[in-house]
Amino acid sequence: MLNLQTSRREPMKLDPIGDWRRTHYSVEIRPELDGQEVILFGWVQEIRDLGGIRFIILQDREGTVQITIPRKKVCSEVLSKSDALQKRYSIGVKGIVKKTEITPRGVEVIPKEIRIFSTATPQLPIDITGKVPAQLEVRLDARALDLCREENIAIFKIQHTAVEAIRSFLFERGFIEVHTPRIIASATEGGAALFPVDYFERKAFLAQSPQLYKEQLVISLEKVFEIGPFFRAEESHTRRHLSEFVSIDIEQAFASAEDVMQLLEQLMQHTCKVVREKCQKELATLNHQVNVPDIPFKRFTYDQLLEDLKKEGIEIPWGEDIPTPAFRTLGKIHPYFYFITDWPTRSKAFYIKPTDNNPEICEGFDLMWRWIELSSGGTRIASKELLIKRLREKGLNPESFKYHLQAFDYGMPPHAGWAIGLERLTMMLTGKKNIREVTLYPRDKFRLTP
RNA sequence: GCCCUGGUAGUAUAGUCCGGUCUAGUAUAGGCGGCUGUCGCCCGCCCGACCCGGGUUCAAAUCCCGGCCAGGGCGCCA
């Protein structure tokens, strides 16, 4: 239901920000600042009013700090402003830092002036202090507010740190960041379903992968990467699928699967290391640990894993994809990062290169973390002739790929690449078990809002 | 798309098997009042709910059917 009411009581006189500028974030208020005047901006998270003394917990992006208002020691303007405060009001506080033994952080701020920038509805849809947990559905319906919770801020700071680590890692190794089209013409590219869109008078689709474009770019830019959203109109309704997800894609000229696997495991180690070091506070908030994995990661062939599964009583006919319950079993046997290599050619995409001495097997790989597929990649086919053959074998029409295929007339080098699902990576880094928790505004078959 | 489980105040839950003292209990949030060191503050009072539609019955939150929605699982998944 739409809440058209902006404020519960008579319209409150709001304050302008004026010449106030933030001097410190909440967490920067430390006992060493004792006696110093500071300006804080943020939101009221909690109010504990004991009558003669009132405690306001001010929250900002970085954390919280206690504002203490002793009734008889502050001026009447501060008192009346603090009387009006409610949870989630956006406020500014100018005050004096006071070192204290009584408060857990050893510091509080005694206000000299309070400015109220914005009010909030009194009955919030979820409990922002986390005393009464709400279900994910309720939280997602009130996502803008839900994202104010410390736990969620921690999740997205970790994701940000990971993306930053990945970008700088790839920049250092000479990869060029690119942006390929989200709107594409053809629906004939393969298995996964596409979302149709109206493109002027024509039908177009939302891209499900940058695969073909990044391959074309290796003949010019050689080493490219892209971080961006892609779309899959699948029926999937699981804890690890979204209709819109963020993919981290690389493609590298003059390289093989083994080269990009080494790059990938180094990147994973690097990312875990950076997150572990930079996000200690966030990981503590989430009560989660990130361990830095040793490299190289274990490499298992498809055949080896079929043997493992056989021992567990799960028989999979050779050539079939590994079903989800079997992956869960593998995750129990191998509770760490591992590669799966030597997949049957028929179980992988048309552009994955079959091995030279046995075309039944291909040079595709998956990077698993326990039972979750974090990344998949491989050596690509560089020969136009072979690519056309593989398209036909997959029941695809080479004519639909003519613009892609033309790149193979202009000196397509041997090349390889992979793609990481950012949200799945974030699940691993945060310990969250539902992909919707690590997505700001998740899109799935049933959810299109907010 | 299929299977299982569920849908009770803003939120989270009890009650559902075995229909009737359910005028629907509790916690938290919200409103009002009190309290000078709280940090899940405390105390008192108040407000507030049985997903929608149909059926069975003297009587339905409770049983049956359909729908919608959610969680989990499966399938689908360059």
* Residue range A275-304: mean pLDDT, rounded: 95
- Give residue A235's pLDDT band: very low, low, confident or very high (50, 70, 90): confident
pLDDT digits (tens, 9 = 90+) for A133-161: 899 999 999 999 999 999 999 999 999 99
Residue whose CA is minimally distant from B12 C1': A132
pLDDT digits (tens, 9 = 90+) for A392-403: 998 888 988 989
| A119-129: b (≥16 Cβ within 10 Å) or e | bbeeeeebebe
- pLDDT over 70 at A191, yes or no: no
- Give residue A131's pLDDT band: very low, low, confident or very high (50, 70, 90): confident
Q: What is the side-by-side strand order in the sheet with A183-184?
A: A183-184, A202-206, A196-199
Rounded-to-integer distance, Cα A236 and Cα A244, Å: 12
- pLDDT over 70 at A260, yes or no: yes
- pLDDT over 50 at A8, yes or no: no
Residues in chain A: 450
Q: Please state, as a whole number, how many other Cβ atoms lie within 10 Å of the Cβ of residue A55.
A: 15
User: Average per-residue pLDDT in chain A?
Assistant: 92
A184 CA: nearest nucleotide by C1':
B78
Strand B and A50 CB separated by under 7 Å: yes
Rounded-to-integer distance, Cα A344 and Cα A363, Å: 9
* Residue range A198-223: mean pLDDT, rounded: 93
Q: Please state, as a whole number, how many other Cβ atoms lie within 10 Å of the Cβ of residue A284.
A: 11
Strand B and A71 CB separated by under 7 Å: yes
Strand B and A436 CB separated by under 7 Å: yes
Question: SS3 sequence, A122-151?
Answer: CCCCCCCCCCCCCCHHHHHHCHHHHCCCHH
Strand B and A323 CB separated by under 7 Å: yes
Strand B and A123 CB separated by under 7 Å: yes
- pLDDT over 90 at A437, yes or no: yes
| A235-266: b (≥16 Cβ within 10 Å) or e | eeeeebbbbbbbbbbbbbbebbbeebbebbbe
DSSP 8-state assignment for residue A20: -
What pLDDT is stored for residue A382 in this prediction? 96
What pLDDT is stored for residue A216 in this prediction? 96
Partner residues linked to A176 by β-bridges: A224
Q: Which of residues 161-180 of A touch strand B (CB under 7 A)?
A: none
What pLDDT is stored for residue A4 in this prediction? 52
Strand B and A192 CB separated by under 7 Å: yes
- pLDDT over 90 at A119, yes or no: yes
- pLDDT over 90 at A187, yes or no: no
* Whether the Cβ atoms of residue A15 and residue A116 lie closer than 8 Å to each other: yes
Nearest to A36, CA basis, from A96, A106, A105 = A96
Tokens of A36: 């110093």
* Residue range A427-431: mean pLDDT, rounded: 95
- What is the bridge-based pairing of β-strands A202-206 and A337-341? unpaired
- pLDDT over 60 at A27, yes or no: yes
Strand B and A200 CB separated by under 7 Å: no
Rounded-to-integer distance, Cα A61 and Cα A153, Å: 7
Tokens of A116: 């109220």
Residue A417: φ, ψ to 5°: -170, 180
Percent of chain A whose predicted confidence (pLDDT) is above 90: 84
Look up residue A88 and give its amino acid.
R
- pLDDT over 70 at A2, yes or no: no
- Give residue A6's pLDDT band: very low, low, confident or very high (50, 70, 90): very low
- pLDDT over 60 at A58, yes or no: yes
What pLDDT is stored for residue A102 in this prediction? 87
- Give residue A250's pLDDT band: very low, low, confident or very high (50, 70, 90): very high
Q: How far is the CA of A132 from the C1' of B25 (A)?
A: 18
pTM recorded for the entire structure:
0.94
Partner residues linked to A253 by β-bridges: A415
Q: How far is the CA of A323 from the C1' of B66 (A)?
A: 34
What pLDDT is stored for residue A164 in this prediction? 98
Q: Distance of CA A216 to CAs A86, A256, A400, Å?
A: 56, 16, 16
* Residue range A350-379: mean pLDDT, rounded: 95
Rounded-to-integer distance, Cα A269 and Cα A337, Å: 10
What pLDDT is stored for residue A275 in this prediction? 97
Rounded-to-integer distance, Cα A134 and Cα A141, Å: 11
* Whether the Cβ atoms of residue A15 and residue A120 lie closer than 8 Å to each other: no
Q: Evaluate the CA torsion angle A257, A230, A421, A220 in order and state its sign.
A: positive
Nearest to A239, CA basis, from A444, A447, A10 = A444
- pLDDT over 60 at A3, yes or no: no
What pLDDT is stored for residue A203 in this prediction? 86
Q: Is A393 helix (H, G, I), strand (E, B) or coil?
A: helix
Strand B and A284 CB separated by under 7 Å: no
- Chain centroid, CA A134 distance in Å: 21
ipTM summary value: 0.90
What pLDDT is stored for residue A396 in this prediction? 87
Rounded-to-integer distance, Cα A115 and Cα A94, Å: 8
What pLDDT is stored for residue A7 in this prediction? 43
Task: Kindly tell me the burial class for residue A311, based on how many C-beta atoms sit within 10 Å of its own C-beta (0-12, 13-18, 19 or more).
Answer: exposed
